[in-house]
Protein backbone atom coordinates (compact mmCIF):
# COMPACT_ATOMS: atom_id res chain seq x y z
CA UNK A 1 0.00 0.00 0.00
CA UNK A 2 1.16 3.56 -0.69
CA UNK A 3 -0.77 5.33 2.10
CA UNK A 4 -1.84 7.73 -0.62
CA UNK A 5 -5.39 8.64 -1.53
CA UNK A 6 -6.87 9.45 -4.94
CA UNK A 7 -10.29 10.92 -5.73
CA UNK A 8 -11.83 10.36 -9.16
CA UNK A 9 -15.09 12.06 -10.10
CA UNK A 10 -17.59 10.13 -12.23
CA UNK A 11 -15.86 6.85 -11.40
CA UNK A 12 -18.86 4.54 -11.09
CA UNK A 13 -18.35 3.38 -14.69
CA UNK A 14 -16.27 3.56 -17.86
CA UNK A 15 -12.96 5.46 -17.94
CA UNK A 16 -13.23 6.71 -14.33
CA UNK A 17 -13.98 3.21 -13.05
CA UNK A 18 -11.04 1.66 -14.89
CA UNK A 19 -8.79 4.48 -13.61
CA UNK A 20 -9.91 3.56 -10.08
CA UNK A 21 -8.99 -0.06 -10.74
CA UNK A 22 -5.53 0.81 -12.10
CA UNK A 23 -4.71 3.18 -9.22
CA UNK A 24 -6.07 0.60 -6.76
CA UNK A 25 -3.71 -1.99 -8.22
CA UNK A 26 -0.82 0.44 -7.68
CA UNK A 27 -1.71 0.48 -3.97
CA UNK A 28 -3.66 3.73 -3.74
CA UNK A 29 -6.75 4.11 -1.58
CA UNK A 30 -9.28 5.29 -4.15
CA UNK A 31 -12.30 7.41 -3.38
CA UNK A 32 -14.66 6.40 -6.16
CA UNK A 33 -16.73 9.51 -6.85
CA UNK A 34 -20.31 9.01 -8.00
CA UNK A 35 -23.24 11.41 -8.22
CA UNK A 36 -25.56 8.49 -7.42
CA UNK A 37 -24.30 6.85 -4.23
CA UNK A 38 -25.99 3.51 -4.98
CA UNK A 39 -24.21 3.29 -8.34
CA UNK A 40 -21.00 4.28 -6.54
CA UNK A 41 -21.47 1.62 -3.87
CA UNK A 42 -21.99 -1.22 -6.31
CA UNK A 43 -19.02 -0.11 -8.46
CA UNK A 44 -16.80 0.15 -5.37
CA UNK A 45 -17.96 -3.27 -4.15
CA UNK A 46 -16.89 -4.89 -7.41
CA UNK A 47 -13.38 -3.41 -7.06
CA UNK A 48 -13.14 -4.27 -3.37
CA UNK A 49 -13.93 -7.87 -4.42
CA UNK A 50 -10.74 -7.67 -6.53
CA UNK A 51 -8.83 -6.93 -3.30
CA UNK A 52 -8.50 -3.15 -3.86
CA UNK A 53 -8.89 -0.35 -1.29
CA UNK A 54 -11.84 1.50 -2.83
CA UNK A 55 -14.49 3.59 -1.07
CA UNK A 56 -17.52 5.18 -2.73
CA UNK A 57 -17.86 8.93 -2.26
CA UNK A 58 -21.01 10.85 -3.12
CA UNK A 59 -20.08 13.83 -5.32
CA UNK A 60 -22.09 15.60 -7.98
CA UNK A 61 -19.79 18.11 -9.67
CA UNK A 62 -22.69 20.43 -10.47
CA UNK A 63 -23.78 20.64 -6.82
CA UNK A 64 -21.79 22.92 -4.47
CA UNK A 65 -23.20 21.33 -1.31
CA UNK A 66 -22.34 17.82 -2.49
CA UNK A 67 -18.75 18.90 -3.26
CA UNK A 68 -18.43 20.67 0.11
CA UNK A 69 -19.71 17.56 1.94
CA UNK A 70 -17.32 15.32 0.00
CA UNK A 71 -14.33 17.55 0.85
CA UNK A 72 -15.37 17.61 4.52
CA UNK A 73 -15.56 13.81 4.52
CA UNK A 74 -12.06 13.48 3.05
CA UNK A 75 -10.75 16.06 5.50
CA UNK A 76 -12.20 14.11 8.44
CA UNK A 77 -11.05 10.68 7.23
CA UNK A 78 -7.72 11.26 5.47
CA UNK A 79 -6.78 14.88 6.18
CA UNK A 80 -5.09 15.15 2.77
CA UNK A 81 -5.51 14.17 -0.87
CA UNK A 82 -2.63 13.02 -3.11
CA UNK A 83 -4.43 12.75 -6.46
CA UNK A 84 -7.49 14.51 -7.84
CA UNK A 85 -8.85 13.34 -11.19
CA UNK A 86 -11.58 15.54 -12.63
CA UNK A 87 -13.08 12.88 -14.89
CA UNK A 88 -16.86 13.42 -14.78
CA UNK A 89 -18.09 14.77 -18.10
CA UNK A 90 -21.11 14.83 -20.39
CA UNK A 91 -21.40 15.14 -24.19
CA UNK A 92 -24.60 17.16 -24.47
CA UNK A 93 -26.96 16.76 -27.42
CA UNK A 94 -25.21 15.34 -30.46
CA UNK A 95 -24.92 15.52 -33.37
CA UNK A 96 -26.14 19.04 -33.92
CA UNK A 97 -24.77 21.91 -36.01
CA UNK A 98 -23.21 24.79 -34.03
CA UNK A 99 -25.90 27.13 -35.36
CA UNK A 100 -28.58 24.86 -33.89
CA UNK A 101 -27.19 23.98 -30.46
CA UNK A 102 -29.18 25.82 -27.82
CA UNK A 103 -27.44 27.80 -25.11
CA UNK A 104 -29.36 25.83 -22.46
CA UNK A 105 -27.72 22.63 -23.68
CA UNK A 106 -24.29 24.29 -23.88
CA UNK A 107 -24.75 25.77 -20.38
CA UNK A 108 -25.54 22.30 -18.98
CA UNK A 109 -22.39 20.89 -20.60
CA UNK A 110 -20.28 23.69 -19.13
CA UNK A 111 -21.81 23.13 -15.65
CA UNK A 112 -20.40 19.59 -15.64
CA UNK A 113 -17.31 19.81 -17.87
CA UNK A 114 -15.93 23.25 -16.94
CA UNK A 115 -17.49 24.65 -13.77
CA UNK A 116 -17.51 21.15 -12.21
CA UNK A 117 -13.71 20.72 -12.32
CA UNK A 118 -13.23 24.34 -11.18
CA UNK A 119 -15.54 23.83 -8.17
CA UNK A 120 -14.01 20.46 -7.24
CA UNK A 121 -10.42 21.70 -7.63
CA UNK A 122 -11.08 24.78 -5.51
CA UNK A 123 -12.82 22.74 -2.79
CA UNK A 124 -10.08 20.10 -2.58
CA UNK A 125 -7.08 22.40 -2.92
CA UNK A 126 -6.50 22.70 0.85
CA UNK A 127 -6.39 18.88 1.07
CA UNK A 128 -4.06 18.63 -1.94
CA UNK A 129 -1.79 21.23 -0.33
CA UNK A 130 -1.78 19.12 2.86
CA UNK A 131 -0.22 16.20 0.94
CA UNK A 132 3.55 15.94 0.59
CA UNK A 133 3.05 16.38 -3.13
CA UNK A 134 -0.02 16.02 -5.33
CA UNK A 135 -1.22 15.69 -8.91
CA UNK A 136 -4.39 17.05 -10.45
CA UNK A 137 -5.53 15.57 -13.76
CA UNK A 138 -8.21 17.21 -15.87
CA UNK A 139 -9.77 14.62 -18.16
CA UNK A 140 -10.06 16.66 -21.33
CA UNK A 141 -10.42 15.50 -24.93
CA UNK A 142 -8.58 15.75 -28.23
CA UNK A 143 -11.76 17.56 -29.32
CA UNK A 144 -10.70 20.40 -27.01
CA UNK A 145 -7.42 20.90 -28.90
CA UNK A 146 -7.69 23.99 -31.11
CA UNK A 147 -4.43 22.89 -32.74
CA UNK A 148 -6.01 19.62 -33.86
CA UNK A 149 -9.47 21.01 -34.66
CA UNK A 150 -8.00 23.66 -36.96
CA UNK A 151 -5.69 21.24 -38.81
CA UNK A 152 -7.39 19.81 -41.95
CA UNK A 153 -5.03 16.82 -41.76
CA UNK A 154 -6.19 15.89 -38.26
CA UNK A 155 -8.78 13.13 -37.80
CA UNK A 156 -10.85 15.42 -35.51
CA UNK A 157 -11.00 18.34 -38.02
CA UNK A 158 -14.53 17.43 -39.15
CA UNK A 159 -15.92 16.82 -35.64
CA UNK A 160 -17.51 20.23 -35.15
CA UNK A 161 -19.49 20.02 -31.89
CA UNK A 162 -19.87 23.51 -30.43
CA UNK A 163 -20.84 22.77 -26.82
CA UNK A 164 -18.68 19.76 -26.02
CA UNK A 165 -15.55 20.76 -27.94
CA UNK A 166 -15.49 24.29 -26.55
CA UNK A 167 -16.12 22.97 -23.02
CA UNK A 168 -12.94 20.89 -23.26
CA UNK A 169 -11.01 23.84 -24.77
CA UNK A 170 -12.17 25.84 -21.74
CA UNK A 171 -11.10 23.00 -19.44
CA UNK A 172 -7.65 23.16 -21.05
CA UNK A 173 -7.50 26.87 -20.22
CA UNK A 174 -8.58 26.06 -16.65
CA UNK A 175 -5.71 23.54 -16.49
CA UNK A 176 -3.16 26.19 -17.52
CA UNK A 177 -4.55 28.71 -15.02
CA UNK A 178 -4.35 26.34 -12.02
CA UNK A 179 -0.94 25.04 -13.14
CA UNK A 180 0.42 28.60 -13.18
CA UNK A 181 -1.03 29.45 -9.77
CA UNK A 182 0.40 26.27 -8.27
CA UNK A 183 3.75 26.26 -10.14
CA UNK A 184 5.71 27.07 -6.97
CA UNK A 185 3.97 24.35 -4.93
CA UNK A 186 4.33 20.55 -4.91
CA UNK A 187 1.12 20.24 -6.94
CA UNK A 188 1.13 19.54 -10.68
CA UNK A 189 -1.87 20.18 -12.89
CA UNK A 190 -2.12 18.53 -16.32
CA UNK A 191 -4.78 17.60 -18.84
CA UNK A 192 -5.28 14.13 -20.35
CA UNK A 193 -6.89 13.16 -23.64
CA UNK A 194 -8.11 9.58 -23.15
CA UNK A 195 -8.72 9.18 -26.89
CA UNK A 196 -11.87 7.95 -28.59
CA UNK A 197 -12.85 5.19 -26.17
CA UNK A 198 -15.71 2.68 -26.22
CA UNK A 199 -18.01 3.73 -23.34
CA UNK A 200 -21.64 4.73 -22.74
CA UNK A 201 -20.49 8.27 -23.60
CA UNK A 202 -20.49 7.46 -27.32
CA UNK A 203 -22.66 4.34 -27.48
CA UNK A 204 -19.48 2.25 -27.40
CA UNK A 205 -18.37 3.46 -30.85
CA UNK A 206 -14.85 4.41 -29.67
CA UNK A 207 -11.94 2.35 -30.96
CA UNK A 208 -9.92 2.46 -27.74
CA UNK A 209 -10.43 0.38 -24.61
CA UNK A 210 -11.00 1.85 -21.16
CA UNK A 211 -7.72 0.16 -20.13
CA UNK A 212 -5.83 2.19 -22.76
CA UNK A 213 -7.69 5.39 -21.85
CA UNK A 214 -7.05 5.01 -18.11
CA UNK A 215 -3.34 4.25 -18.56
CA UNK A 216 -2.55 7.79 -19.76
CA UNK A 217 -4.59 9.32 -16.94
CA UNK A 218 -2.82 7.15 -14.35
CA UNK A 219 0.56 8.17 -15.78
CA UNK A 220 -0.25 11.87 -15.24
CA UNK A 221 -1.82 11.15 -11.84
CA UNK A 222 1.34 9.46 -10.56
CA UNK A 223 3.99 11.87 -11.91
CA UNK A 224 6.87 12.55 -9.56
CA UNK A 225 8.46 15.96 -8.95
CA UNK A 226 10.38 15.76 -12.25
CA UNK A 227 7.18 15.46 -14.34
CA UNK A 228 5.57 18.15 -16.49
CA UNK A 229 3.19 20.82 -15.20
CA UNK A 230 0.54 22.69 -17.18
CA UNK A 231 0.63 20.38 -20.21
CA UNK A 232 -1.80 18.31 -22.28
CA UNK A 233 -1.12 14.65 -23.11
CA UNK A 234 -2.50 11.78 -25.15
CA UNK A 235 -0.86 8.70 -23.64
CA UNK A 236 2.63 10.11 -23.00
CA UNK A 237 2.77 12.36 -26.07
CA UNK A 238 2.08 16.08 -25.74
CA UNK A 239 -1.02 17.40 -27.52
CA UNK A 240 -1.17 20.99 -28.88
CA UNK A 241 -3.57 23.25 -26.96
N1 LIG B 1 -15.24 8.09 -24.17
C2 LIG B 1 -14.51 8.88 -24.98
O3 LIG B 1 -14.32 8.59 -26.18
C4 LIG B 1 -13.88 10.13 -24.45
C5 LIG B 1 -12.97 10.81 -25.28
C6 LIG B 1 -12.36 11.96 -24.80
C7 LIG B 1 -12.67 12.43 -23.54
N8 LIG B 1 -13.55 11.74 -22.75
C9 LIG B 1 -13.82 12.26 -21.41
O10 LIG B 1 -13.55 11.26 -20.46
C11 LIG B 1 -14.39 11.45 -19.31
C12 LIG B 1 -15.09 10.14 -18.98
O13 LIG B 1 -15.82 9.76 -20.12
P14 LIG B 1 -16.52 8.32 -20.25
O15 LIG B 1 -16.37 7.90 -21.68
O16 LIG B 1 -16.05 7.42 -19.17
O17 LIG B 1 -18.05 8.77 -20.01
P18 LIG B 1 -19.32 7.97 -19.42
O19 LIG B 1 -19.25 6.53 -19.76
O20 LIG B 1 -20.53 8.72 -19.88
O21 LIG B 1 -19.16 8.15 -17.84
C22 LIG B 1 -19.24 9.46 -17.32
C23 LIG B 1 -19.17 9.41 -15.82
O24 LIG B 1 -19.33 10.76 -15.35
C25 LIG B 1 -20.39 10.77 -14.40
N26 LIG B 1 -21.04 12.07 -14.32
C27 LIG B 1 -21.76 12.73 -15.25
N28 LIG B 1 -22.22 13.89 -14.76
C29 LIG B 1 -21.78 13.97 -13.48
C30 LIG B 1 -21.93 14.92 -12.44
N31 LIG B 1 -22.66 16.03 -12.58
N32 LIG B 1 -21.31 14.68 -11.25
C33 LIG B 1 -20.59 13.55 -11.07
N34 LIG B 1 -20.44 12.60 -11.98
C35 LIG B 1 -21.03 12.81 -13.19
C36 LIG B 1 -21.34 9.66 -14.84
O37 LIG B 1 -22.19 9.29 -13.79
P38 LIG B 1 -23.60 8.52 -14.05
O39 LIG B 1 -23.26 7.08 -14.22
O40 LIG B 1 -24.37 8.82 -12.80
O41 LIG B 1 -24.21 9.13 -15.29
C42 LIG B 1 -20.30 8.60 -15.18
O43 LIG B 1 -19.82 7.99 -14.00
C44 LIG B 1 -15.35 12.59 -19.67
O45 LIG B 1 -14.86 13.79 -19.11
C46 LIG B 1 -15.27 12.66 -21.19
O47 LIG B 1 -15.53 13.97 -21.67
C48 LIG B 1 -14.16 10.61 -23.18
Read off the pLDDT of residues 58-81 as tens digits, 9 standing for 90 and up.
999 999 999 999 999 999 999 999
Task: Tell me, yes or no, if the pTM score tops 0.85.
Answer: yes
Instruction: Look at the chain and count its residues.
Output: 241
Q: Domain 5-238 is classified in which CATH homologous superfamily?
A: NAD(P)-binding Rossmann-like Domain (3.40.50.720)
Annotated catalytic residue 207: no
Q: Which residues contact 209 (CB under 8 A, 6 or more apart)?
A: 197, 198
Question: Candidates 87, 88, 205: which one to mutate for ligand 1, based on the most atoms within 8 Å of Cβ?
Answer: 88
CA of 139 to the centre of ligand 1 (A): 9
Which residue's CA is the nearest one to ligand 1's atom 32?
A: 60
Domain segments of the chain: what residues? 5-238
Do 37 and 56 form a contact (C-beta atoms < 8 A)? yes
**Does 19 contact ligand 1 (Cβ within 6 A)?**
no
| Ligand 1 contact via 92 beta carbon (within 6 Å) | no
**pLDDT over 90 (residue 165):** yes
Mean pLDDT of the chain: 97
Q: Is 222 near ligand 1, meaning CB less than 6 Å away?
A: no
Rounded mean pLDDT of 143-159? 97
Amino acid sequence: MTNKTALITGANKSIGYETARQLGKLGYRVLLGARDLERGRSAAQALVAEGLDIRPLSIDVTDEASIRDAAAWVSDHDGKLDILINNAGIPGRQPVAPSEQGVDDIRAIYETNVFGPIRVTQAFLPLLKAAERANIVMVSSGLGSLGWLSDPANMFFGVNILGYNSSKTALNAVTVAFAKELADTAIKVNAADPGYTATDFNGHTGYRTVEQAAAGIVWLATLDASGPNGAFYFEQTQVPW
